[in-house]
């Protein structure tokens, strides 16, 4: 069964997981709309974007890594480190944001580069390398300070409070625009560049990619660098949102990011997946939270329970999908 036939149109099997996630999102939105007063508005979806802009950016980086068959556990810690560095540099020496932000992005990318290099050059499993990176970045936060540092820089606070009005009383924050630009650029790169092709080929079969003369090593190093960059940018967006730097920000966030990517239909073994899926994955996670908060009586831990159940379903779905195509 190569395709799923819907009426006359047929959809290649590789789009199937994305389609499922998309349907799930629509279904959840409809259920929410029926159950709760004032749920079925455009602003609810926009709020999901606003609240999860940083998660979306991190998930973009993670998508690159997972597409090559790797994993990056350091993203949550890098986010915390980024908020911490931004807050402390602006609060203490009073650096201006236009210096702080590039510096933070450079640090995140640098960390990713180093991890990618270690993964490639010493042929070590990404799990363990990025686990080390995770501890390292988290630990570095506490060398800067153990307490939460508030951000009072006028540019940052202005950025945090800006509302961009859309039609019909709907609005988004600047972070959403940044996140969507990142998604658009990344989607374009994945689809239309030789680098993007190398990412898919490396994840699909690293050995055959090597024998096709693709730059496997360079690709791997680059995806971890991208992931580091995206985490740092996610950290900057989170500090817009939180207006503080803290070593305990984004604890366990790496797992949320991985969950979003997997629910988005990207194969954890690499080689198959789309950024659109990742966006939908983040939206599904965000919508679960929204529904739980609308429910009111349920504790927020129900979010985790739903995410857990969804992950099970999606992993099983992937298993079926990959078993078929590898037949």
Partner 1 sequence: MTEHILRMSGITKTFPGVKALQDVNLSVRRGEIHAICGENGAGKSTLMKVLSGVYPHGEYEGEITFEGKRCEFRGIRDSEHAGIVIIHQELALSPQLSIAENIFLGNERAKRGVIDWNRTNYEAGELMKRVGLRENPTTPISDIGVGKQQLVEIAKALSKEVKLLILDEPTAALNDDDSAHLLGLLRGLRDEGITCVIISHKLNEVIAIADAVTIIRDGRTIETLDMATDQVTEDRIISGMVGRALDNRFPPHESTIGDEALRIEDWTVYSPSQPGRKVVDGASLTLRRGEIVGLAGLMGAGRTELAMSVFGRTYGVHISGKIFKDGRPIEIRNVQDAIKHGIAYATEDRKRYGLNLIEDIKRNVSAAGLKGLASRGWVNENEEYRVAEEFHRSMNIKAPSVNSVVGKLSGGNQQKVVLSKWILTEPDVLILDEPTRGIDVGAKYEIYTIINRLADEGKAVLVISSELPELLGLCDRIYTLSEGRITGEVPRQEATQEHLMYLMTKGQER
> In degrees rounded to 5, what are phi and psi of residue 8?
-95, -25
Q: Work out which of 49, 156, 200, 241 binds partner 1, going by CB under 8 A.
A: 200
Pick the closer one to partner 1 by CB: 34 or 323: 323
Based on the shown chain and the rule CB under 8 A, indicate whether residue 7 belongs to the binding site for partner 1: no
Which residues from 269-298 bind partner 1, rule CB under 8 A? 271-272
Q: Count residues near partner 1 (CB under 8 A).
A: 31
CA 187/CA 180 separation, integer angstroms:
10
DSSP per-residue codes, 246-257: -TTTTTTHHHHH
CA 300/CA 307 separation, integer angstroms:
12
- Per-position x/- string for 209-248, each x denoting binding to partner 1 as judged by CB under 8 A, each - no binding: xxxxxxx---------------------------------
Pick the closer one to partner 1 by CB: 26 or 211: 211
Pick the closer one to partner 1 by CB: 177 or 211: 211
Contact 118, 236 (CB under 8 A): no
Q: How far is the CB of 199 from partner 1 (least distance, A)?
A: 12
Based on the shown chain and the rule CB under 8 A, indicate whether residue 2 belongs to the binding site for partner 1: yes
Q: Work out which of 125, 193, 293, 299 binds partner 1, going by CB under 8 A.
A: 193
Q: Work out which of 6, 9, 34, 327 binds partner 1, going by CB under 8 A.
A: 327
CA 6/CA 87 separation, integer angstroms:
52
Q: Work out which of 97, 145, 174, 204 binds partner 1, going by CB under 8 A.
A: 204
Residues in Cβ contact with 308 at an 8 Å cutoff, skipping those fewer than 6 apart:
none
Q: Work out which of 195, 276, 298, 311 binds partner 1, going by CB under 8 A.
A: 195
Which residues from 115-174 bind partner 1, rule CB under 8 A? none
Q: Work out which of 221, 267, 280, 291 binds partner 1, going by CB under 8 A.
A: 267
Pick the closer one to partner 1 by CB: 192 or 312: 192
Based on the shown chain and the rule CB under 8 A, indicate whether residue 320 belongs to the binding site for partner 1: no
Contact 140, 80 (CB under 8 A): no
Based on the shown chain and the rule CB under 8 A, indicate whether residue 323 belongs to the binding site for partner 1: no
Based on the shown chain and the rule CB under 8 A, indicate whether residue 326 belongs to the binding site for partner 1: yes
Q: How far is the CB of 285 from partner 1 (least distance, A)?
A: 26
Q: Work out which of 197, 298, 302, 317 binds partner 1, going by CB under 8 A.
A: 197
Residues in Cβ contact with 25 at an 8 Å cutoff, skipping those fewer than 6 apart:
280, 283, 284, 287
Q: Which two tokens stand for residue 43?
A: 């602003």
> In degrees rounded to 5, what are phi and psi of residue 114?
-65, -45
Sign of the torsion angle spanned by Cα atoms 126, 252, 187, 276:
positive
CA count, 13 A, side-chain hemisphere, 314: 30
Based on the shown chain and the rule CB under 8 A, indicate whether residue 28 belongs to the binding site for partner 1: no
Q: Pairing mode, if any, of strands 244-245 and 149-150? A: antiparallel
Pick the closer one to partner 1 by CB: 189 or 298: 189
Residue 138 vs residues 71, 143, 229, 246, 302: alpha-carbon distances, Å: 18, 9, 16, 10, 27
Based on the shown chain and the rule CB under 8 A, indicate whether residue 35 belongs to the binding site for partner 1: no
Contact 264, 273 (CB under 8 A): yes
Query: Which residues of the chain form contacts with partner 1 (CB under 8 A)?
Result: 2, 12-14, 191-197, 200-201, 204-205, 207-215, 267, 271-272, 322, 325-327
């Amino acid at each position: 069964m190569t395709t799923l036939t819907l009426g006359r149109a047929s959809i290649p099997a590789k789009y199937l997981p994305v389609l499922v996630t998309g349907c799930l999102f629509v279904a959840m939105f409809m259920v929410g709309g029926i159950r709760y007063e004032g749920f079925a508005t455009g602003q609810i979806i926009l709020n999901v974007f606003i609240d999860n802009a940083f998660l979306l950016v991190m998930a973009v980086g993670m998508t690159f890594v997972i597409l090559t068959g790797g994993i990056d556990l350091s993203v949550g810690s890098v986010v915390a480190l980024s908020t911490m560095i931004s807050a402390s540099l602006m609060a203490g020496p009073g650096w201006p944001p236009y210096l702080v932000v590039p510096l933070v992005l450079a640090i995140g990318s640098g960390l990713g580069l180093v991890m990618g290099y270690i993964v490639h050059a010493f042929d070590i499993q990404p799990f363990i390398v990025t686990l080390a990176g995770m501890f390292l970045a988290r630990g570095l936060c506490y060398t800067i300070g153990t307490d939460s540092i508030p951000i009072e820089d006028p540019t940052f606070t202005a950025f945090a409070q800006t509302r961009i009005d859309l039609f019909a009383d709907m609005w988004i924050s600047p972070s959403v625009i940044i996140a969507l630009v990142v998604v658009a650029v990344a989607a374009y790169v994945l689809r239309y560049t030789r680098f993007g092709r190398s990412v898919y080929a490396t994840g699909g079969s690293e050995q055959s990619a090597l024998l096709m003369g693709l730059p496997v090593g360079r690709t791997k190093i680059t995806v971890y660098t991208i992931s580091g960059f995206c985490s740092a940018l996610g950290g900057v967006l989170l500090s817009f949102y939180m207006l503080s730097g803290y070593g305990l920000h984004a604890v366990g966030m790496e797992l949320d990011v991985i969950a979003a990517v997997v629910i988005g239909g990207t194969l954890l073994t690499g080689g198959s997946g789309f950024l659109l899926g990742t966006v939908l994955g983040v939206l599904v996670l965000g919508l679960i939270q929204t529904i739980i908060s609308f429910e009111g009586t349920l504790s927020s831990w129900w979010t985790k329970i739903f995410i857990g159940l969804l992950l099970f379903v999606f992993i099983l779905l992937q298993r079926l999908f990959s078993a078929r195509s590898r037949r």
